[in-house]
Amino acid sequence: MTDTLNWKPAATPKAETIEGRFIRLEKLEPARHGNDLWQALQGPAADPALWDYLPYGPFTERAAFDRWLEGNAAGRDPLFHAVIDRSNGQAQGILSLMSMVPEHGRIEIGHVAFGAAMQRTPKSTEAVYLLGKLAFELGNRRLEWKCNNANARSRRAAERFGFVHEGVFRKHLVVKDHNRDTAWYSITDDEWPAVAAGFARWLSEDNQRPEGQVQTLEACRKG
């Protein structure tokens, strides 16, 4: 057999706080984050398209929303994080590490729900960067991103973040009584250093200025 890896399984993520420049990631705690997340994800200023391609939501009642948060917080896979805006301490979104297969070094970022205050800001990009960085620090070989192939926003986000499109699983799932063809993306451990360097350049003070970004993330990734 060729291509011997001397492989050691990846470690599994722990529920730890991760500090960034614009945000920090905290383990989801409904009692602490619930009020903010209800306003960010379901309140009057929420993105009306947020729930279109997610397998749950929208939530018309706070009790159902709280039960959903509690179910998310109770698990280890997915391991949910709340995204906290460091400027005001508000929880403005959630995302998770999931589909963990440490024996093969595979992990996914999923269940991404960012409130309108995070969208098209450095906060959303930094949240993905911090989880990606953790995924590879744990020893994973592959970081995945999957979405409904009809979800143009998610596909565009994956490509902007540096994920490589691998194909489409046709008739993969039935979600909310609709067919879902699933688009698959990944970043591998050998690709990550260049992708990470691009994230770091894009998030830096030289690039993120009070008047806005200087270079796009794609341009920063090219060096």
pLDDT, tens only, 96-119: 999 999 999 999 999 999 999 999
For the segment 211-215, the average pLDDT, to the nearest whole number, is: 93
Q: What pLDDT, on a 0 to 100 scale, did the predictor assign at position 141?
A: 98
Quick one: angle between helices 62-74 and 30-42, nearest 10? Answer: 130
Q: Read off the tokens for 202.
A: 């894009």
Give 14's DSSP letter: -
What whole-number distance in Å separates Cα of residue 162 and Cα of residue 29?
30
Give residue-wise pLDDT tens across range 61-94.
999 999 999 999 999 999 999 999 999 999 999 9
The reply to whether the predicted model has a pTM over 0.85 is: yes
Enumerate residues 6+ apart whose C-beta is below 8 A from 21.
86, 122, 126, 203, 208
Enumerate residues 6+ apart whose C-beta is below 8 A from 93.
37, 40, 41, 82, 83, 112, 113, 114, 115, 118, 123, 124, 127
Enumerate residues 6+ apart whose C-beta is below 8 A from 203.
20, 21, 22, 122, 125, 126, 129
Count CA within 13 A, CB hemisphere, residue 114: 23
Give residue-wise pLDDT tens across range 142-184.
999 999 999 999 999 999 999 999 999 999 999 999 999 999 9
Beta-ladder partners of 83: 25, 93
Beta strands 178-188 and 142-148, pairing class: antiparallel
Enumerate residues 6+ apart whose C-beta is below 8 A from 43.
none
All structural domains of the chain, each given as residue ranges with its CATH number in brackets, are 18-221 (3.40.630.30)
Task: With beta carbons less than 8 A apart as the criterion, state whether 149 and 155 touch.
Answer: yes
